[in-house]
Structure 1
Amino acid sequence: MNFYIVDVFAESKYAGNQLAVFCGAGVADLSDTQMLQIAREINYSETTFVRSPEPQNGGYDVRIFTPKKELPFAGHPTLGTAFVIQQEIINKPVQQVILNLAVGQIPVTFNYQNEAADVLWMRQNSPTFGQVLPADSLAGVLNLEVDEIDDRFPIQEVSTGVPFIIVPLKTLASLKKAKVNLDKYFELIETTTAKEILIFCPETYSDVNDLSVRVFAPSLGIPEDPATGSANGCLAGYLVNYAYFGKDAIDVKVEQGYEIDRPSLLLLQSQKKDGEIEVLVGGRVVMVAKGEFV
């Protein structure tokens, strides 16, 4: 099998979120157990498997695995895998690549600069909003004080395919010092549909960005994720639903991964339209390595 390593939501190599993509004739023969074993061997947040180089129903069948389990959807694997398919399987500029995932077909749209792929955009499912959680509970999980959480907005489970707990904070200082108390975390997720947590604040490391984000996913074997497209899609829907910026449409830049030395940039666009919230998440993908698994 051929494999490719790409950095997703990265402005340059060795930033963003790492992804390994496997493709070739041998991928179709892999069992679920073998795919999970390979994902553990790679030990990135996610590893993907393109099951066939030929499209099915207009899209490419793709499976996504963390080191612990398969996911029905994830953001940076979607963009990164679409990039590899365009670069290495289709091998020419195309407007769109569709991935057939467990949550359904997810289209990825390509923008080009001098015929080289530039920003990729994925349209996520319309967000659904789950239970609202108490601030004191999440403060305990994150080792923060209750007054560090922005009480103008709810702490809530949101999903565009994979649910996340969205926690609004007031300052970058609070975002920086947040640290998951694992005992309280695992106690909390016994009562929630969402198992992963996104925290965000309006203060940023870079003046050109609009929000700073961190994502914690211990239940997936990921203490902290450097760039999380699925979680930021949930955040985009949340920002519009609660008019965080005072309006029902957004076009913002989000930074993530600074605390773990993997600076990432995610582009979020979202608006209310025909009674639903549309969500687009974009970013750049950089090829880092190519090889063969034997």
Structure 2
Amino acid sequence: MPATVNEYPFSQVDVFAPGPKPGNPVAVVHGADGLSDEQMQSFANWTNLSETTFLLKPTLPEADYRLRIFTPASELPFAGHPTLGSAHAWLENGGQPQRPGELVQECGVGLVKISQTAGEQFFEAPPLRRSGPVEPEVLEQAIASLGITPEQVLDSNWVDNGPGWLGIRLASARQVLDLTPDFVAMGKLNVGVIGAYGDGGPADFEVRGFVPGLAVPEDPVTGSLNAGLAQWLIGSGVAEGDYTVSQGTVLGRDGRLTITTEGDSIWVGGTSRTVIRGSVSL
């Protein structure tokens, strides 16, 4: 007998794209409580986007909804652009938050707060699971895979809030844009690189995120990476409490992120817009 197929509401949301050029899409399946882990992973593999998410009923009373996040290869406990895109889709599909102007998402790292303004949504950067110096042999592998010399690296740090990010800071945005990574050499490392623009740049910093081990060689625009980088750079005094980021330039995207601080909290924000609405058969 053929397997039972059910219809689920579906949204595809472009995240971190304030203008006509694209940011980073996320596929969102609504009301996905009836799907198995295998069905979720299979569909995420089929969409072939950097992330596909599934909105579920929360298990914690403080949460408005629960979110599961899958790359084409595996599940993630947290990711930034799927968090904002899924929040946008949830609200657009009739979701009613418990607290006006604020959503609480339940996911693999626990509870994540999301705030809303007229034009943007912001998520509160979750605590880093791993920080501090990168082991010499790991850093050596990362540097070699980026095709640069150790002398070009101003600093490095673990900035892992779930996906396993390793952060590297270069002297300029130009150096970041000129990188030609060797993804075979990079292996399963998830490497984020940041460099500053001078006056007149499109943003304060350019960022690139490489995740070949998750079947996404270069992610167009990455909320989780920028959250971790912000915690590192603001905490070390390299960056001010408020700044902007450009990402995706090399891929023909025009991602823009806004980093703000409020007390001890760091918030990562951007715009989202739904570009596809419909249903999926799973």
TM-score bracket, shorter-length normalisation: 0.7 to 0.9
SS in 1 for 2:73: coil
Is the Cα contact below 8 Å between 1:196 and 1:216 reproduced in 2?
A: yes
Give the Cα separation in 2 of the matches to 1:204 and 1:41.
41
Q: CA RMSD in A?
A: 2.4
Where structure 1 has 5 or more consecutive residues not aligned to the other structure, the ranges are 113-117, 190-194
Give the Cα separation in 1 of the matches to 2:211 and 2:94.
32
SS in 1 for 2:134: strand
**% identity of equivalent residues:** 29
SS in 2 for 1:2: strand
Cα shift readout 1:164-204 (whole Å, capped 9, x = no counterpart): 11101112332122122233212xx5xxxxx3111011127
The answer for the alignment partner of 2:35 in structure 1 is 30
- Once the two structures are superposed, the pairs formed by residues 194-205 of structure 1 within 5 Å of their partners are 195-203=189-197
Give the Cα separation in 1 of the matches to 2:198 and 2:29.
35
Q: Per the alignment, do residues 83 and 145 of structure 1 end up closer, same or farther by CA in structure 2, a change over 3 Å counting? A: same
Give the Cα separation in 2 of the matches to 1:120 and 1:147.
38
In structure 1, give the amino acid aligned to 2:254: P
Cα shift readout 1:105-146 (whole Å, capped 9, x = no counterpart): 11111112xxxxx11011122334143244654331101133
Give the Cα separation in 1 of the matches to 2:279 and 2:53.
15
The answer for the alignment partner of 1:161 in structure 2 is 162
Cα shift readout 1:213-236 (whole Å, capped 9, x = no counterpart): 100000110010111000000000
Deviation of 1:101 after TM superposition, in Å, equals 0.4
Counterpart selection for 1:280 from 258, 267, 271: 267
Identify the range of structure 1 (211-220 vs 14-23) with the bigger mean alpha-carbon deviation. 14-23
Counterpart selection for 1:140 from 141, 144, 168: 144
SS in 2 for 1:89: coil
Where structure 2 has 5 or more consecutive residues not aligned to the other structure, the ranges are 1-7
The answer for the alignment partner of 2:133 in structure 1 is 131
Counterpart selection for 1:98 from 104, 116, 123: 104
Q: Per the alignment, do residues 208 and 185 of structure 1 end up closer, same or farther by CA in structure 2, a change over 3 Å counting? A: closer
In structure 1, give the amino acid aligned to 2:259: L
In structure 2, give the amino acid aligned to 1:69: S
Give the Cα separation in 2 of the matches to 1:171 and 1:199.
10
In structure 2, give the amino acid aligned to 1:7: D
Give the Cα separation in 2 of the matches to 1:72 and 1:91.
24
Counterpart selection for 1:83 from 67, 84, 88: 88
Deviation of 1:14 after TM superposition, in Å, equals 4.9
In structure 1, give the amino acid aligned to 2:208: R
The answer for the alignment partner of 2:5 in structure 1 is none
The answer for the alignment partner of 2:10 in structure 1 is 3
Deviation of 1:56 after TM superposition, in Å, equals 4.9
Give the Cα separation in 2 of the matches to 1:107 and 1:81.
13
Is the Cα contact below 8 Å between 2:142 and 2:191 reproduced in 1?
A: no
Give the Cα separation in 1 of the matches to 2:274 and 2:200.
25
The answer for the alignment partner of 2:182 in structure 1 is 181
Q: Per the alignment, do residues 183 and 207 of structure 1 end up closer, same or farther by CA in structure 2, a change over 3 Å counting? A: closer
Give the Cα separation in 2 of the matches to 1:14 and 1:30.
33
- Once the two structures are superposed, the pairs formed by residues 32-71 of structure 1 within 5 Å of their partners are 32-52=37-57, 56-71=61-76
SS in 1 for 2:117: strand
Is the Cα contact below 8 Å between 1:69 and 1:220 reproduced in 2?
A: yes
Deviation of 1:54 after TM superposition, in Å, equals 10
Q: Per the alignment, do residues 206 and 68 of structure 1 end up closer, same or farther by CA in structure 2, a change over 3 Å counting? A: farther
In structure 2, give the amino acid aligned to 1:6: V
Q: TM-score, normalised by structure 1?
A: 0.84
Give the Cα separation in 2 of the matches to 1:107 and 1:199.
26
SS in 2 for 1:140: helix
The answer for the alignment partner of 1:192 in structure 2 is none
Q: TM-score, normalised by structure 2?
A: 0.88
In structure 1, give the amino acid aligned to 2:14: D
The answer for the alignment partner of 1:12 in structure 2 is 19
- Count how many residue pairs are aligned between Structure 1 and Structure 2: 270
Deviation of 1:240 after TM superposition, in Å, equals 1.4
